[in-house]
Structure 1
């Protein structure tokens, strides 16, 4: 009975104010929309009869409100979430007081998520409500009782809101039972750390041994011989024919340990030495693009995924502002990586083909790519599946602690790089943001078609590339028109009546995303053809090129501004934007790369070629894999509603960047570089 009473207490607050709920528009007329008084409200007499809660829960609630337990009942009710200030303008985070509930024995904290049918202009909002209940009252008890009560309440205001219980999650300690996967992951991390330290100590030992032997040698010829032998075996010990086999075994063990030496690998990451002819501007472009990705995901996670904002419609007004468009529309940053991938692949591979008369060991071509991506991807999946659930607590964490990003079901799709096709819905996939890796690997698999044709018959290669671009444009337009998709915010994952959404149908599919990769291939072929040549263009062409690139880039980024401010795009406009925006961004970025590489970039090239970008560039892959996991931990540990404004976004964005790159550094030192070193050692 008391569970019902608690439910009614807060549903009453919601119903009493819903009749004049404002649309999520600019709040100029907000004073006219607030009701003068709360509407009269009575409960049906049979509302509390036959509510589906367990006998144990009902008995626990009875004990909770007995005379002997009045103190606990008071604290439990005090810890429950209540209508917050700003409810009329969209503050739907009734999170309660987590520490107070946690301090009570035989009680646990449950977070209920209600979806409200309100016209926000973007997505129906989710109301988060924290309840402190006896441990005997489980998730099913809360969900069933709330659903039945909502269905029995017949009020126009409530029917307008049409609240739907989406999820109930009760916190446990630990968040998940410690299983074999957790212990194995911890053991793997400990063994890796031990190898890193042992390798570093062994490297110090070898350096000291080498220095000691050099100091004791007085004969210059012996010293030269020793240095010659050092280059042959790498460890400063001359070979004795009678001990050749033993020395080989010791050399293998030594090289294995040195593969994990964190001091050697750290020097590899931090070094900024470059060879002549390198496209140094790519380092800055890569890091800035990764920063843009993190910025866009910060806003998405703070607002969409956790949605415990204090500001309500005022926060949405911030999203509608002109500066916020560069954050909301961060999707072109992904196209930058496709361009860079196609460019580097073509430029490097065609160079190798030129030196080997077109012969490439294609088996190693694929194996090296797979081996390079595997350590970071595997580490991210292990972290999401076995470590992240234990790294937080709180009302928002209680609703996501069991969330393993579906890696327990679909980890194998990532390893096969088919996760952009299976499962059908992107959010259901294992660490869903790695759809990019699937696309990039699929482009890599078919890349020999372009590479061989460009090397043997360049005209045929260009015809194939042009044909694929046209096919991609047509396919994207067709899918957008048939499904009437909206580009703005990619629909926030909303599905149509057939269960289709723009992310899973268009955004992550290789046949809709290949055009920037193809632009990168063409640019890479051009750079290969001009290798060693100086390209001269007049100043007018340079000015026109920069102006065109700037205009095109701004049009792509801010082209959806009207969609958020009363001028929605038509079906045809949405289709055209989706089809050609990726290609247009790739063309604009190609000019930047071309101008910087051939001396027409000025201070922009100086900035993008800054050597400080080089170490960060080596860590962008790990930052890409781990930054959503890091931000899930940050925001998931929030115990109160937060403000959606520029300062808050900047705070979480900065924290997310710093910690993402730090985690990427650890993963690179412990997994990526050691396995890359082992590949060279074995091969």
Structure 2
């Protein structure tokens, strides 16, 4: 989740040992254009293009002590500069002074390549009189006044999509066009039916069917055949199907038509048990969106990062915006995933005459893939396409480097194994969760097999797995001295690579969810018998959650040696958080939830819960677009960040509804053949 910061930190690995190189030559055209620009800005009345280029250079601002070290300059102003022989080109020079890393935006002639710009900067050829156009930070602010160049990036004016970009954009357009075309087709048939068929015949149409052109079928079907037809047409959906023949084409049309996919998405009626899950899922989603809205901005383009860090690290009031505790919402999702996976599979076993067959397991896995992959593929293709279409601002560098991984490692997303790759190779970083969830999901049939085989064996296997995942977190944290709170330094590379993304350290909450699901599906009596038991349970639950969040602030410093408290906290806090949420679910289901049960079962959470998957996948796209298009840094205040969160949230909700009905739900409803 702190991937942008990791990539920026990795830039240090590309440090060029240019001090030992001989003076490099610059191509004649670049040198002539640069000399023309430098000569022009030293005149008493310089030309307008030269003034624009000079003014576009990044300059040091105030509050360097608070973290305002980047000097982005003005990209648009640079691109608007045109001389008779060249135009302005915006580049960023990444520098280091002592422990401070920063970039400076500069405007150079577009006849210069990145390596030419590097040479011009390194050997001080960009001078305004006797003053360098890229002066170092003053020694009063930074002890080391010597600048060390890390790398140089130039932002091209032209948008040049390659073949992969075109393919991705085509896939996105196709996935949107199919449901729109199906909706248009079914609407035309409805219109023909209402126009040409009498009401009495139209009602019988639901039993006898119409052909694809709206012509009434009169084949003399018996009443039993009509009843069979009605039964076959009413498949997994609860909606009355359109009056088409029973064919795969018909089912596809119905599945992709907005007449069906839009039904029930915005309803506030939960329709089944475990209504408290809607509130838990929705609140966890809001927690994640709030955390990402803050963290992405903090990592990439905040002008007072140090001020922000001092403020949020000292107060648990910022628990919704700081890295460590925000990650607990992910463990809540893993818990819910385990619970629902066990419930779904056990229900399928019951319908299959209490048989857990290989065919049933294959169907169970396939349904999960069908649930996840269409929207996942759409978001991946959309993000890749945006890279080439968007004219990014000065803060594009971590985003572009991250998204470009998709062109090489897209296959890992298709196979749902991208969380097993190194951090810098993950395509669409936030989709690591889908791979982790699917890998955990695939273990549910095996655990249920042991549960049905022998309860003692099942208890031993489940206990062993829980112990192993806990010990793995403890050992990895101790040996690699990992942080547990706001991983935003070089140690966070190992934190993400070795701990945060891996199934062997994150399996605990999902396993607890499976156990909870089995209990809820098989219980014959209430777990809580007395009110005092419920009161004691609520007290322990809330106290444990508060301790888990509070300890993150106590252990916020990254250890410089193997730390037992850090290791124990890392290994235990996720399963313990999952147990606390499990208590809330059980208490609500057994009638001891009180006002918390009423709040979590509030009807408003139901539609949000139904579009939560689309919200999770789409909300980082809006945050990345917002950050990548900024030309100036964002200033941290509580009010600014609140508006950022609300803006991202509103856009996410609107677009997620559209994606749910156009991309996600059609494949859930899609069924060919008899059911």
TM range (shorter): 0.7 to 0.9
Evaluate the alpha carbon distance shift between residue 178 and residue 285 of structure 1 in structure 2; reply closer, same or farther with a 3 A threshold. same
Query: 2:448 and 2:558 mapped to 1: Cα distance?
Result: 47
Query: 1:664 and 1:249 mapped to 2: Cα distance?
Result: 32
How far did residue 115 of structure 1 move? 4.2
Query: 2:37 and 2:448 mapped to 1: Cα distance?
Result: 73
How far did residue 401 of structure 1 move? 4.7
Contact 1:325 1:558 in 2 (8 A): no
Contact 2:171 2:378 in 1 (8 A): no
Q: 1:160 aligns with which of 129, 144, 158?
A: 144
Q: 1:79 aligns with which of 56, 73, 79?
A: 56
Contact 1:111 1:129 in 2 (8 A): yes
Q: 1:140 aligns with which of 111, 115, 123?
A: 115
Answering whether residue 290 of structure 2 is matched by residue 284 of structure 1, we say: no
Answering whether residue 95 of structure 2 is matched by residue 114 of structure 1, we say: yes
How far did residue 466 of structure 1 move? 0.6
Evaluate the alpha carbon distance shift between residue 467 and residue 61 of structure 1 in structure 2; reply closer, same or farther with a 3 A threshold. same
Contact 2:402 2:427 in 1 (8 A): no
Stretch moving more, 207-216 or 341-350: 207-216
Query: 1:224 and 1:642 mapped to 2: Cα distance?
Result: 61
The residue that corresponds to 2:28 in the other structure is: 55
Contact 1:405 1:431 in 2 (8 A): no
Answering whether residue 125 of structure 2 is matched by residue 181 of structure 1, we say: no
Contact 2:470 2:572 in 1 (8 A): yes
- Normalising to structure 1: TM-score of the pair? 0.81
Contact 1:476 1:578 in 2 (8 A): yes
How far did residue 159 of structure 1 move? 7.3
Q: 1:511 aligns with which of 504, 529, 550?
A: 504
Answering whether residue 419 of structure 2 is matched by residue 446 of structure 1, we say: no
The residue that corresponds to 2:494 in the other structure is: 501
How far did residue 281 of structure 1 move? 1.0
How many residues end up aligned between the 2 structures?
614
Task: Specify every segment of 5 or more residues in structure 1 that has no aligned partner in the other structure, as ranges.
Answer: 1-45, 119-124
The residue that corresponds to 1:527 in the other structure is: 520
Stretch moving more, 597-606 or 666-675: 666-675
Q: 1:102 aligns with which of 79, 96, 113?
A: 79
Evaluate the alpha carbon distance shift between residue 681 and residue 188 of structure 1 in structure 2; reply closer, same or farther with a 3 A threshold. farther
The residue that corresponds to 2:106 in the other structure is: 131
Contact 1:170 1:398 in 2 (8 A): no
Query: 2:635 and 2:136 mapped to 1: Cα distance?
Result: 33
Stretch moving more, 644-653 or 247-256: 247-256
Query: 1:538 and 1:476 mapped to 2: Cα distance?
Result: 37
Stretch moving more, 70-79 or 538-547: 70-79
Answering whether residue 289 of structure 2 is matched by residue 310 of structure 1, we say: no
Answering whether residue 379 of structure 2 is matched by residue 380 of structure 1, we say: yes
**CA offsets per residue over residues 609-641 of structure 1, 9 Å max, x none?**
122222221221122222222211101111112
Contact 1:92 1:309 in 2 (8 A): no
Contact 1:326 1:557 in 2 (8 A): no
The residue that corresponds to 1:666 in the other structure is: 658
Stretch moving more, 258-267 or 540-549: 258-267
Query: 1:547 and 1:482 mapped to 2: Cα distance?
Result: 35
Query: 2:261 and 2:102 mapped to 1: Cα distance?
Result: 48
Q: 1:609 aligns with which of 597, 601, 610?
A: 601
Stretch moving more, 59-68 or 535-544: 59-68
How far did residue 131 of structure 1 move? 0.9
The residue that corresponds to 2:208 in the other structure is: 229
**What secondary structure, in the 3-state scheme, does the structure 1 residue paired with 2:617 have?**
helix
How far did residue 542 of structure 1 move? 1.2
Evaluate the alpha carbon distance shift between residue 134 and residue 520 of structure 1 in structure 2; reply closer, same or farther with a 3 A threshold. same
Stretch moving more, 458-467 or 316-325: 316-325
Stretch moving more, 165-174 or 625-634: 165-174
Query: 2:639 and 2:533 mapped to 1: Cα distance?
Result: 41
Evaluate the alpha carbon distance shift between residue 47 and residue 582 of structure 1 in structure 2; reply closer, same or farther with a 3 A threshold. closer
* RMSD between aligned residues: 3.5
The residue that corresponds to 1:467 in the other structure is: 464
**CA offsets per residue over residues 308-353 of structure 1, 9 Å max, x none?**
3232432222222312234212010110011001111112222332
Evaluate the alpha carbon distance shift between residue 459 and residue 214 of structure 1 in structure 2; reply closer, same or farther with a 3 A threshold. farther
How far did residue 235 of structure 1 move? 8.3
**What secondary structure, in the 3-state scheme, does the structure 1 residue paired with 2:569 have?**
helix
How far did residue 273 of structure 1 move? 3.9
Query: 1:538 and 1:631 mapped to 2: Cα distance?
Result: 48
Contact 2:172 2:381 in 1 (8 A): no
Evaluate the alpha carbon distance shift between residue 86 and residue 504 of structure 1 in structure 2; reply closer, same or farther with a 3 A threshold. same
Query: 1:599 and 1:483 mapped to 2: Cα distance?
Result: 45
Query: 2:566 and 2:146 mapped to 1: Cα distance?
Result: 30
Evaluate the alpha carbon distance shift between residue 163 and residue 257 of structure 1 in structure 2; reply closer, same or farther with a 3 A threshold. farther
The residue that corresponds to 2:265 in the other structure is: 269
The residue that corresponds to 2:129 in the other structure is: none
Contact 2:252 2:671 in 1 (8 A): no
**CA offsets per residue over residues 6-40 of structure 1, 9 Å max, x none?**
xxxxxxxxxxxxxxxxxxxxxxxxxxxxxxxxxxx
The residue that corresponds to 2:419 in the other structure is: 420
The residue that corresponds to 1:588 in the other structure is: 580
**What secondary structure, in the 3-state scheme, does the structure 2 residue paired with 1:449 have?**
helix
Contact 2:136 2:145 in 1 (8 A): no
Query: 2:247 and 2:286 mapped to 1: Cα distance?
Result: 42
**What secondary structure, in the 3-state scheme, does the structure 2 residue paired with 1:267 have?**
coil
Contact 1:233 1:251 in 2 (8 A): no
Alignment of 1:244-259 (within 5 A): 252-259=248-255
Answering whether residue 323 of structure 2 is matched by residue 333 of structure 1, we say: no
Alignment of 1:202-241 (within 5 A): 202-211=185-194, 215-217=198-200, 225-230=204-209, 237-240=216-219
**What secondary structure, in the 3-state scheme, does the structure 1 residue paired with 2:639 have?**
helix
**CA offsets per residue over residues 487-521 of structure 1, 9 Å max, x none?**
121x326249xxx6111111111111111011111
Contact 2:175 2:378 in 1 (8 A): no
The residue that corresponds to 1:639 in the other structure is: 631
Task: Specify every segment of 5 or more residues in structure 2 that has no aligned partner in the other structure, as ranges.
Answer: 1-18, 125-131, 226-242
Contact 2:466 2:508 in 1 (8 A): yes
Query: 1:400 and 1:160 mapped to 2: Cα distance?
Result: 30
**CA offsets per residue over residues 27-63 of structure 1, 9 Å max, x none?**
xxxxxxxxxxxxxxxxxxx999935544332221112
Query: 1:681 and 1:140 mapped to 2: Cα distance?
Result: 61
**What secondary structure, in the 3-state scheme, does the structure 2 residue paired with 1:648 have?**
helix
The residue that corresponds to 2:183 in the other structure is: 200
The residue that corresponds to 2:295 in the other structure is: 300
Evaluate the alpha carbon distance shift between residue 565 and residue 625 of structure 1 in structure 2; reply closer, same or farther with a 3 A threshold. same
Answering whether residue 530 of structure 2 is matched by residue 538 of structure 1, we say: yes
Query: 1:543 and 1:232 mapped to 2: Cα distance?
Result: 62
